Structure 1
Amino acid sequence: MAGRTRRDALALVARAGLAGLGAAALGSRAAAAATRTDFRALVIGSGFGGAVAALRLGQAGVDTAVLERGREWPVAPARPVFGSVNGVTDTMFWFRRTARYPGLLPVPVRPGPGVLEVAEEPGLDIWCGAGVGGGSLVYTGVTVAPPRRCFERLYPSGLRYEEFARVWFPRARAMLGASPMPRDVYASGPFLHSRVWDRQVTRAGFRPEPLDSTFDWRVVRGELAHRVPLSATAGDSDFGCGNGAKKTLTRTYLPAALATGHVQLRPLHEVRSVGRRRDGRFRLEVRRLTPGGEVLGTEEFTCDLLFLAAGTLNTNRLLVAARDRGALPDLPAAVGEGFGDNGDQVTLRSQPLVQHGATQGSPCASGVFVPDGCGLPLRAESWVLPGFHGLPAVVTLSMTADGDHRGAFRSDPRTGRVRLTGWGDGSAAAARAALAFSRRVIAANPGTLPLTVPLPPYTAHPVGGCAIGRVTDPEGRVRGVPGLYVVDGSLLPGTVGGANPSLTITALAERALAGIVARAG
């Protein structure tokens, strides 16, 4: 009977998402399990790379714990869960005292474990998801692969595009549940701005293509019919969709990982440092937090296999600090080098006499890849900028395949903090490319005007610092440190190559874990 009860609980995990299941899935052993600090494998972070690692390790029978610094957020259609630009709450930002986001005044907020970290690095704001599901909580769902020509320029010969196109991209896309926006959703009122965007870029000679997305179109249709609270169709999804409109990792990889019975999830466990003990095993200093942000205490976790999936910013912070403090002295000198912002840029344009829609839905319907003519290869996507709804404006997010402009994470000798250095005007080339694309569209659409929004340089897609071929092998094994792996956006060499990073990170992690499991390390 006990076995059956546990199987029933695990089946519920897989069907219903996480919502408090991290301990419940363990049945009567939950209390004892929650106090364990020693595991065969530890995964730091529950975003795209960490969720893949958790599932594939669990399926291989490896005793694994996932340490996630952020909260576990329920899907609760009956009540608001997340804040938004139109209703700022303390759940929005990771330990900030003032809001910092496009369209938001710097209003005071109470510091706590919110869903988005906005790190003000020198010359660049870096955005990072914080919570069970990582970046999947706060991204806008676009699930697209980089063009072959860009991919092949970025990676060593051990990674073949044909293999990714045949195996890893389809596997990742299927697990994430990605699909293009249905025609009826595209034709609805909240996506008039998407139709205007498509019409404008078509007149400029481009051919917009539907993009796969991980929004749940069933829930989006429920919003359109006013059966569920509005979120995606109202443009309020950058800080999470409390009605379940996103297929976050809490509905795909993570519940499947818990259902193996070999994986534990520890939310509100913030890894502060990593190192190695004298016996060769890894040790982690972990700070436990309450949902309100109070510190409950600090513990040491130990493991044989350590998977870094804390996101580009925090994986680099942990590893650079561990190397420079002597906790992991054998780390490659290239750790922290080669950071890039993926060429993220936002541009706006307006046709004042054209209706753009009073409400603009968040999901991205389409995009174009522009290989030349803008200074850099560029992907442009129909986007939404919270706080600008109702204005006669359409928004473009662009990402360039910029192979030149890079920064580095280094320890500040005075404070010991790891900061981004050498960025300077690293965003300038991408900004010029984005403006060149916008000018081509404006020239082809009479009566269209550029709009200038004073945004600080930022990236929602930080990548690099532990690049494949420099710091790791093609399967994420860190050179010189057996048992240490990187499986997040740090693996990418400063750019995805003209795409959003989620699909590429997931596919790289799938390939890495397949090799690691097959070779037992």
Structure 2
Amino acid sequence: MGAVDTADVVIVGSGFGGSVAAHRLADAGLSVVVLERGRAWPPGSFARTPADMHHNFWNPKGSDYGLFDVLEFRGFDSVVSAGLGGGSLIYANVLLRKDERWFVKDAELPGGGYEYWPITREDLDPHYDAVEAMLTPSRYPYDDPQFNSVPKAQAFREAADELGLDWQLPPLAVAFASKPGGQPGINLPVVEPSYGNLHGVPRLTCRLCGECDFGCNDGAKNTLDHNYLSAAKAAGADLRTMCEVQAIRPGGPGYQVRYLLHAMDGSSVSKRIDCERLVLAAGAFGTTRLLLGNRAHLPGLSSALGTRFSGNGDMLSFALHTRRDGRPRTVHASRGPVITSTIRVPDELDEDGGVGRGFYIQDSGYPVILDWLVQNMDVRGDLSRLAGFSLNRLRGLLRWAGPDHLEHGIGQLIGSGTLSNCSLPLLGMGRDVPDGVMRLRKGELDVSWTTETSRSYLDRVRGTMKDITSALGGEYVDNPLWFRKRLAVAHPLGGAPIGRHPGEGVCDPYGEVFGHPGLYVADGAAMPGPVGANPSLTIAAMADRLCDHLLLARGMSGRSPARGGPRRSGGTTQTAPAAPARLSGGRTGAAALSFTEEMAGQVTLGEREGPVPLRMHVTVAIEDMDAFLADPRHAARASGWLDCPALGGRLLVAHGLVELMVTVGGRRRMHYRLPFADDRGRQLVLNGHKELRAGPPTAIWPDTTTLYAKVLAGDVTLGAGTLTLGRLDFLRELTTLRAASPSVLERFGTFFLGSLWQVYRPRLSS
């Protein structure tokens, strides 16, 4: 049997969560493998002809490995992407932050329970900054002479002004200029960043073709393969395409992942890779399905698995035959990027008099080739023009007196194109009710979710869309699916939501799955409710925050590589980190030595509570071995989590302290100080110590594996108890030991074992 494939981190999926994680973790020095089920799509490879589009759908059973995966559920249809870069390949480029007041707490749901966001806008803002620095969004430059030939933005603005609605140009992940901050221009060469581009194909700025949702053949979209994934590859990440994950299991250093490696001829080979950390980023459908399908091998998964599904309030409609002053109004939906501008309708949570659940409505578009399809929807006009053309031809034949010039007649037959030129799709999204439930039915994902509980929200969205259509002088038409009360969902969210404790969510507020250390969810499945705005930026920001937590828990720098002052590299202004500290005896950005300790036991929290379980999982990191050995208290930083249901479940420890082998009289002690906040927001501390007293060598084990702990609120003791390290936990701890070099490990071993010798060495009587 050959050697097992291994990595520090395996990431399943390469969308907005997986790509961010791949770059952040590879840049920190971890070995990272990304498993993406689809293939790479360089500029120029996206289907445009009917023959190519015929095979452009994800259907491995039919040997089709296309870009679009179209899913039909009982209450809605959805389209997701299969390819390196995930949903960024087919999304509409909008990068809006989640509204600050829409991070709701205890929002009651119709069927029982509450929508609760255990994080805030303040928590995410630095991560929003980091992601924007990589994706370099810009607003549509419609005031520029080269770009003012896109009338839909101006029409949308005029409609918003007439209705008193908030109109804006949202940030778009589109290159309108050769470099960020440069002069906009059409078909200009894009200057690549210093890490290059994994495709090695030249890119051009936006040419206003409306093809964003079908894949950008010019490379003008700042899709994830052009930034985060290219940077991840440059940092050493192994990006594996055509790898469809089938099973996940605890095992090896942390988790085993089994996947199918597809070949274009329809064959596939089963593979396995083991990893210390596993990040699921296969989207709301993919990640939830993996967790549901492997639930038997992941005991203790929260009962919240499969809950909180939401369509992010998605709704599509059409404003047809728009007019101004009684004449057709040209809006050219096929001109420009898919979305140029947005209208925000306030929420009851806002301070500006909003009612109900808020939402956004955006001017949408489509490729120019679809203008012909749209125009052919005008059946009545087609019949009228055909009848007129035939009658004129008959008249011409009856009075024939020479050559018949048909140019005018053919032009009349084609028509004026007013339906395609004067019609505009309207895309809505917002705070619908996240009460859908995802299950497996005969091995296939099934979603129980209808429009009923969100009816008042959807009625308000449709009402505003009708008002906008009226302001544009057009005819309002619902998406044909709506006739059966079905929706087209472009932004599926939920299924493995974050929460404060396992009773509320599958993951903690950082995306780590409760009860399964080292297993993370980094995509739309982690959303506990609708984002409201386009969710891509929020998913990426939460993944960036997850990486800070993962790296801190592993004893490594949590600093985002995308943060710090600007630098100019490869002709592009980018954001770069400050120079990381060079740790003694270690590589840049990593601890000189670290290990992870997990202890469990009970604490008594007052007379009423009685003994309650508490588990501690912390990574102890020594950054500078010289300073550590010279320090009489031998202090090291500690980060990780405490798990105590009575205090709110999994609780983050970000800035803890452990002092190893402090001399107290004739004894040695190990001190632990682990600050945390409980689910009520109280700032608490777990204060503990291990007591090492002179005695026989048999006392080493109980002394070094018993922690006497107190839970403190300031100077007040809330509870006390004992935690212990089991033999299996000790063996597992040995596997987590990481040293920058053999000499660092030797120096630490000499110190630690020497200290034990000083305490437990035999004392000879005189």
Deviations 1:3-57 (A, max 9, x none): xxxxxxxxxxxxxxxxxxxxxxxxxxxxxxxx97221210000111001111111
| Correspondence 1:406 to 2:440 | no
Counterpart pick for 2:254 among 281, 289, 293: 281
Q: CA offsets, 1:90-118, max 9 Å, x none?
A: 45321189xxxxxxxxxxxx751111211
2-structure distance, mates of 1:258, 1:268: 17
Distance 2:104 2:155 in 1: 34
Question: Structure 1 residues 128, 430: CA separation in 2 closer, same or farther (over 3 Å shift)?
Answer: farther
TM-score when scaled to structure 2?
0.56
**Correspondence 1:324-473 to 2 at 5 A:** 326-350=296-320, 351-352=322-323, 353-357=328-332, 359-372=334-347, 375-385=356-366, 387-388=370-371, 390-402=420-432, 404-412=433-441, 415-423=442-450, 425=452, 428-445=455-472, 447-455=473-481, 457-469=487-499, 470-473=505-508
> 1:186 & 1:463 partners in 2: Cα distance?
39
Identity among equivalent pairs (%): 31
Q: Is the contact made by 2:4 and 2:274 (CA closer than 8 Å) also made in structure 1?
A: no
- Displacement of 1:464 after TM fit? 0.6
SS in 2 for 1:56: helix
Correspondence for 1:70 = 38
1:74 aligned counterpart, secondary structure: coil
Whole-angstrom distance in 2 between the partners of 1:85 and 1:503: 32
Structure 1 letter corresponding to 2:515? G
Residues 469 and 475 in structure 2, CA contact (< 8 A), matched pair in contact too: yes
Rounded to whole Å, the distance in 1 between the matches of 2:291 and 2:32 is 21
| 8 Å contact from structure 2 (residues 309, 494) kept in 1 | yes
Residue 239 of structure 1: how far off its partner (Å)? 2.1
Alpha-carbon deviations, 1:166-217, whole Å to 9, x = none?
x111111111111111235686365212221221122111131110000111
Following the alignment from structure 1 to structure 2, what is the Cα–Cα distance between the partners of residues 157 and 130? 29
Higher strand share: 2
One-letter amino acid matched to 2:444: R
User: C-alpha offsets along residues 124-167 of structure 1, whole Å, 9 cap, x if unaligned?
Assistant: 112212111101111110000121111244886752322323x1
Q: Does the C-alpha gap of structure 1 residues 117 and 233 become closer, same or farther in structure 2, counting only changes over 3 Å?
A: same
In structure 1, distance between residues paired with 2:429 and 2:288: 22
Q: Residues 341 and 494 of structure 1 are in contact (CA less than 8 Å); yes or no, is this contact kept in structure 2?
A: no
Where do 5+ consecutive residues of structure 2 fail to align?
A: 108-114, 179-183, 190-201, 348-353, 375-419, 500-504, 555-639, 641-766
Partner of 2:130: 171
Measured in 1, the distance between the counterparts of 2:207 and 2:76 equals 28
SS in 1 for 2:177: helix
Q: Does 1:51 align with 2:19?
A: yes
1:198 corresponds to 2:157: yes
C-alpha distance in 1, partners of 2:60/2:238? 29
Q: Counterpart in 1 of 2:7? A: 39
Report matched runs for 1:253-292 at 5 Å.
253-261=228-236, 263-277=237-251, 281-290=254-263, 292=264
1:343–1:87 CA distance, 2 compared to 1 (3 A): farther
Question: Does residue 82 of the first structure (1) align with residue 46 of the second (2)?
Answer: yes
Structure 1 residues 265 and 196, CA gap change in structure 2 (3 angstroms): same
Counterpart of 1:302 in structure 2 is 274
Task: Give the stretch that moved more between structures: 210-219 or 482-491.
Answer: 210-219
Give the AA of the match of 1:143.
Answer: L
Shift, 1:236, TM fit: 1.7
Q: Which residue of 2 aligns with 1:102?
A: none
Distance 2:90 2:469 in 1: 30
CA contact (8 A) 1:113 1:293 kept: no
Q: Is it true that 1:161 corresponds to 2:121 in the alignment?
A: yes
| 8 Å contact from structure 1 (residues 119, 125) kept in 2 | yes
Sort the Cα spacing of 1:186 and 1:519 in 2 relative to 1 into closer, same or farther, 3 A. farther
1:444 CA displacement: 4.0
> What letter matches 2:462 in structure 1?
L
How far is 1:287 from its partner?
Answer: 0.5
Q: 1:130 aligns with which of 82, 86, 90?
A: 82
Q: How far apart are residue 391 of structure 1 and its match?
A: 3.7
Query: SS in structure 2 opposite 1:39?
Result: strand
**Distance in 2 between residues matched to 1:187 and 1:336, nearest whole Å:** 48
Structure 1 residue 449, shift from structure 2 partner: 2.0
Deviates more, 1:242-251 or 1:346-355: 346-355
* TM-aligned CA deviation for residue 452 of structure 1: 3.5
Give the number of the structure with larger relative contact order, counting CA–CA contacts within 8 Å between residues 6 or more apart: 1
Separation of aligned partners in 1, 2:365 and 2:528: 27
Q: CA 1:511/1:406 → structure 2, altered by over 3 Å: closer, same or farther? A: same
The correspondence for 1:492, drawn from 516, 527, 531, is 527
SS in structure 2 opposite 1:515? helix
* Structure 1 range deviating more: 449-458 or 139-148: 449-458
Matched residues, number:
459
Structure 2: which amino acid aligns with 1:294?
Answer: G
Counterparts of 1:157 and 1:360, CA distance in 2: 38
Aligned to 1:4: none
Q: Is the 8 A contact 2:256 2:275 kept in 1?
A: yes
Partner of 1:7: none
Counterpart Cα distance in 2 of 1:307 and 1:228: 31
* Alignment-mate amino acid for residue 270 of structure 2: T
* 2:474 matches 1:501: no
Asked if 1:510 is matched to 2:539, the reply is no
Post-superposition offset of 1:398: 0.9
**Offset from partner CA, 1:64-102 (integer Å, 9 cap, x none):** 1000001011224xxxx21259775245321189xxxxx
Unpaired segments of 5 or more residues in structure 1? Answer: 1-34, 98-109
Secondary structure of the residue that 1:149 maps to in structure 2? helix
Residues 352-372 of structure 1, C-alpha deviations (whole Å, 9 max, x = no match): 421223742234222121114
Bigger Cα displacement from structure 2, 198-207 vs 208-217: 198-207
2:245 maps to a residue whose letter is V
2:330–2:421 contact (8 Å) kept in structure 1: no
* CA distance 1:74–1:405, shift in 2 (3 Å): closer
The question of 1:474 aligning with 2:434 is answered: no
Conserved in 1, the CA contact under 8 Å of 2:203 and 2:220?
no
CA apart distance, 1:468 = 1.1
- Taking a change above 3 Å as real, the CA distance of residues 425 and 354 of structure 1, as seen in their structure-2 partners, is same
Provide the C-alpha distance between the structure 2 equivalents of 1:296 and 1:315, rounded to a whole number of angstroms.
Answer: 21
Distance 1:144 1:280, change over 3 A: same
Which deviations, in whole Å up to 9, do the C-alpha atoms of 1:233-292 show, x marking residues without a partner? 22222121111011111111111111222x211111110122223x573222200112x3
- Asked if the contact 1:378–1:433 (Cα under 8 Å) also holds between the matched residues in 2, the reply is no
Q: Determine the C-alpha separation between the residues in 2 that align with 1:293 and 1:391.
A: 43
User: 2:65 aligns to what?
Assistant: 113
Look at both structures and tell me which one has the larger radius of gyration over its CA atoms: 2
Give the deviation of 1:296 after TM superposition: 2.7
Asked if the contact 2:256–2:272 (Cα under 8 Å) also holds between the matched residues in 1, the reply is yes
The answer as to whether partners of 2:175 and 2:206 remain within 8 angstroms in 1 is no
Q: Structure 2 vs 1, CA of residues 229 and 216 (structure 1 numbering), >3 Å: closer, same or farther?
A: closer
Secondary structure in 1 matching 2:506:
coil
Q: Give the Å deviation of 1:405.
A: 4.4
Confirm or deny: 8 A CA contact 2:205 2:219 kept in the other structure: no
* Contact persistence 1:69–1:269 (CA under 8 A): yes
